[in-house]
Structure 1
Amino acid sequence: MLDIRFIRENAELVEKKAEQKGYKINIKHLLQLDEDRRRLLAEIEATRAQRNELAEQLKDKKPTEEDLVKGQGFKKKLKELELELDPVETEFNMLLASVPNVFPDDTPLGGEENNREEKKWGDTAEKDFEVIDHLTWGEQHGLIDFERGAKVAGNKFYFLKSDLVELEMALLQFSLGLAKKHGFWLMSVPHMVNTRILEGAGFSARGKEKQVYKIEDEDLNLIATAEIPLTGFFADEILPGAWLPSKMAAWSPAYRVEGGAYGKHNRGLYRVHQFNKVELYVLCLPKDSEDWHQKLLKLEEELCQTLEIPYRIVQIAAGDLGAPAYKKFDVEYFTPVDKTYRELMSCSNVTDYQARRLDIRHKDEQDNTQFVHTLNATLAATSRLLIAIIENHQDKDGKVKIPKALQSYMHGQTTI
């Protein structure tokens, strides 16, 4: 969430940026609730002070009838003020939590179609043979089975078999090794989180914005990304300054409601309800978050270049950012099947939006506490990396060349 002081001082800016992100927030009403809340809190504080002053005066002294009446009056007034405050504070907190993060002025406006290309890398020249799409190729080789996945669990669930399982495990091991080489702690995380942690990370299991699966009759939700439990790892803690930056890399399954999202490309492994993912997560000083954003993006590029996957980087437009992100880049792989780019990885600077929601702070050099900044990046969504490898490393004979960096994880195997 945003700092209410920032909203007070920049009300028009916050409302405008929220609208440009696609959120209709009544900032005027929020500020009125804030004013009412502060007035009531001040009255409660003043009444408590008067009550305490009376108690101090009556120490070691028998109260008069007038004192008793005065004390009862303070008690009654406090109860009335607290009853008046409760709904105001509840509505204020809900509305404040719904205000999305702002974004920098260099962000392109509009929706997904306005995402701005920043860079391209790799060979996208037309091949002298027809590339078979990953799903057709996988089914022809008996390595991908959506039909049995649907029988067992429903639409957009699948089985991987044989060499593709080994290739997926190679991708996971390689990406975790790359993260470790760059100084990230390797983490294993819970695959379920409570609602406070889920919503603190900026995700929802309710209403139209539902993104995750909720466990029936439990305050538990299946994670859509390891970002969620990693955000909760330091919740309600004050970190020593020496702990920053804290860099974590976690492997986990990702469970997504969006498997067959309407109007989105969803063929085969591209958009499914469950896939494996390595997520990078950084907590840092506010002054360092822009630098860390670029470092995370470079790490994503290093993985793509090492695996020889052609890609481009796009800066995400305001209307496609989502509530938590201040700034976001996507790395999109090139597919020679239909000669276009599709999302492979994302990389977001969330500033202090998650830290405020989950009270994650640090002590600065003057021993004052401040909220940290958090960033997250996809290093490896294996389902989409498999697509990128199958379609970009395919030869005329229909074989897929295993990238050299992965061959040692597959006992020297060079093709599938």
Structure 2
Amino acid sequence: MASTAGGTMQALRGVSSAFYRFPSSRVVKAIASLDVATIPSISGTFGTATSWKKVENANWRRQGLRCMASAASTAANNLVVSENYVAVSSPSTGSTETDNSSKQTWKASIDFKFIRDNKEAIAKNIQNRKCGGDVEQVVQLYEQTVSLNQEVDKLRAERNAVANAMKTKLDASRREELIEKGKQLKDQVSELEIELSLLQEKLQLEGQRIPNMTHPDVPVGSEDVATLRKEVGSQRKFTFPVKDHVEVGLALDLFDFEAAAEVSGTKFYYLKNEAFLLEMALINWTMSKLLPKGFIPMSTPDLVRSTVVEKCGFQPRGQNTQVYSVEGTDLCLAGTAEIPVGGMYMDSMLPESALPLKIVAYSHCFRTEAGAAGAATRGLYRVHQFSKVEMFVICRPEESDSLHEELISIEEELYASLGLHFKTLDMSTEDLGAPAHRKYDVEAWMPGLGRYGEISSASNCTDYQSRRLNIRYRPAVVVATTAPSVPLQPPAKAKKVKNTLPPPRFAHTLNATACAVPRMMIAILENNQQEDGSVIIPEALRPFMGGIDVIRPKSSQP
């Protein structure tokens, strides 16, 4: 049975790919050769292969071709082969990137002409980032699409010419000849339109795998070659044995990891007593600093549609995904407020006067942390759920580089005011992911961990997300006037030149973490711990702590 499944899978994939290369008649023959009884999702909908052999009517064939191709592709991708059985897995539980992409129903406004004209640079960019994407295949599919589109347009023009000829005075034989030619052209156009639609879908899916272009100053290579942008403060010299945040927090009755593990599982936690107050203080302090800088405050939904997650550049059902998906729905738990905030402006046409649009959002964040292991996962460092304050900016393309510098400067200002020792890194190509054009990371010294740990990042995604979310803006209209040509004549009213709306442009998007609560809490507890087990609250946070300036062991409190 396993060998039969393998043959069927290969045949199905052949059918799926045939739709992008061959006329529909050859595809029908390929479909008819399948043993569709082994593929319930196909046989249940379309019947047996024998019945397909009997289909002669062109209209029937056109109606079924696209549906059959989709079913064949889906069945091929979801076949599970074992020694004893063949099963078709549910599309909603697919775990690979290919499975996910094959079910996408949205389209990104990708500049395929730019890709074709710059394919060498894009291929080098993909190589430097060590990510997916096949620029040669994208260019090939694009050229095939352009060629087939021209062929369809030519046939449509011939069909229109026939229709116009039919309006003239004709003898019966000539009219009959034109009627027959019109029917043939109609069938040809219909079949080519189906092939064109399928080719465009394939082009779209492959195009979405191409990552954003990289800023020329980004270092090329792995995380080890990231360059230092700025360093603030220095490592504190302790005169007593340093504890990590878990030891400090448990001694002060701030956390409960054991109860959380019983209730929710590993990598969850309860914040208690002053730890809860510290979380609230961090959030409110961060908001108080950002609102005067022109940021609009908001809270966001925890659940978002999977299509919005995809449009922001994340893979909700890819292998080792960091995204939790809600089974039986198209909803996911948001891993960052960047996703619901970006989705809020999806399909928007903003006036240029509204830009730059600066938003600061508080949200809960949920991450699977798939593949995470080791000492760095201890305690609060890597958890499944946490609170975060996120900055998100929508701007004109010419503003995004300077706004990126502004965002990272805000982060540096925030963390310096808490007395933290940290460094800012210009991250390398292999650490950018697909959406980022350039990314800065902030790493704070964590003495209990014995190393620097990431507490924040700031990314310029240029138009990568906006082309997927369809976030555009209309440039302002410049109204020109004509002055009187003869100064000696009585002054005349200036005449308005006819206005023409400038074409819309895709905005640029940026995101930056203002405060990720667990990582900030680690840095504060470990750096501000005292020999008696107490922790000094940074002065900037004290107004938000209800009068508490030191967290003391409960037994020593007055």
Tell me the TM-score normalized by structure 2: 0.72
Shift of 1:53: 4.6
Say yes or no: does 1:210 pair with 2:321. Answer: yes
Q: Which structure: larger Rg?
A: 2
Q: Secondary structure at the match of 1:251?
A: strand
Match of 2:129 among 2, 15, 21: 21
What's the CA shift string for 1:210-242, capped at 9, x where partnerless? 120001110111100000111111111221111
2:30 aligned residue = none
Shift of 1:146: 1.2
Shift of 1:44: 2.2
Q: Secondary structure at the match of 1:313?
A: strand
2:400 aligned residue = 289
1:380 aligned residue = 515
2:385 aligned residue = 274
Contact 1:260 1:272 in 2 (8 A): no
Q: Secondary structure at the match of 2:369?
A: coil
Gaps of 5+ in 1: none
Distance in 1 (alpha carbons) for counterparts of 2:288 and 2:248: 29
Judging changes above 3 Å, is the alpha-carbon distance between structure 1 residues 25 and 150 closer, same or farther for their aligned structure 2 residues?
same
Contact 2:443 2:456 in 1 (8 A): yes
Shift of 1:289: 0.4
2:536 aligned residue = 401
2:67 aligned residue = none
What's the CA shift string for 1:252-300, capped at 9, x where partnerless? 0000011661357211101000000011000111011000000000111
1:184-333 paired onto structure 2 within 5 Å:
184-258=295-369, 261-262=372-373, 265-333=376-444
Contact 1:313 1:331 in 2 (8 A): yes
Match of 1:4 among 109, 112, 119: 112
Distance in 2 (alpha carbons) for counterparts of 1:6 and 1:240: 26
Distance in 1 (alpha carbons) for counterparts of 2:548 and 2:229: 36
Shift of 1:5: 2.1
Judging changes above 3 Å, is the alpha-carbon distance between structure 1 residues 413 and 260 closer, same or farther for their aligned structure 2 residues?
farther
Q: Which amino acid aligns with 2:355?
A: L
1:140 aligned residue = 251
Say yes or no: does 1:88 pair with 2:223. Answer: no
Shift of 1:9: 1.5
Distance in 2 (alpha carbons) for counterparts of 1:133 and 1:264: 11
Judging changes above 3 Å, is the alpha-carbon distance between structure 1 residues 51 and 262 closer, same or farther for their aligned structure 2 residues?
farther
Contact 1:223 1:255 in 2 (8 A): yes
Q: Secondary structure at the match of 2:353?
A: helix
Q: Secondary structure at the match of 2:376?
A: coil
Contact 1:150 1:156 in 2 (8 A): yes
Q: Which amino acid aligns with 1:387?
A: I
Q: Secondary structure at the match of 1:205?
A: coil
What's the CA shift string for 1:338-368, capped at 9, x where partnerless? 4421100000000100011121111124622
Highest RCO, 1 vs 2 (Cα 8 Å, sep ≥ 6): 1
Match of 1:361 among 454, 472, 480: 472
Contact 1:156 1:259 in 2 (8 A): no
Contact 2:460 2:510 in 1 (8 A): yes
RMSD between superposed Cα atoms in Å? 1.9
Which is worse superposed, 159-168 or 203-212? 203-212
Q: Which amino acid aligns with 1:401?
A: I
Shift of 1:186: 0.7
Identity %: 41
Distance in 1 (alpha carbons) for counterparts of 2:378 and 2:276: 19
Contact 2:444 2:455 in 1 (8 A): yes
Judging changes above 3 Å, is the alpha-carbon distance between structure 1 residues 343 and 187 closer, same or farther for their aligned structure 2 residues?
same
The number of equivalent residue pairs is 416
Which is worse superposed, 397-406 or 334-343? 334-343
Contact 2:321 2:370 in 1 (8 A): no
Q: Which amino acid aligns with 2:354?
A: W
Q: Secondary structure at the match of 1:98?
A: coil
Judging changes above 3 Å, is the alpha-carbon distance between structure 1 residues 60 and 222 closer, same or farther for their aligned structure 2 residues?
farther
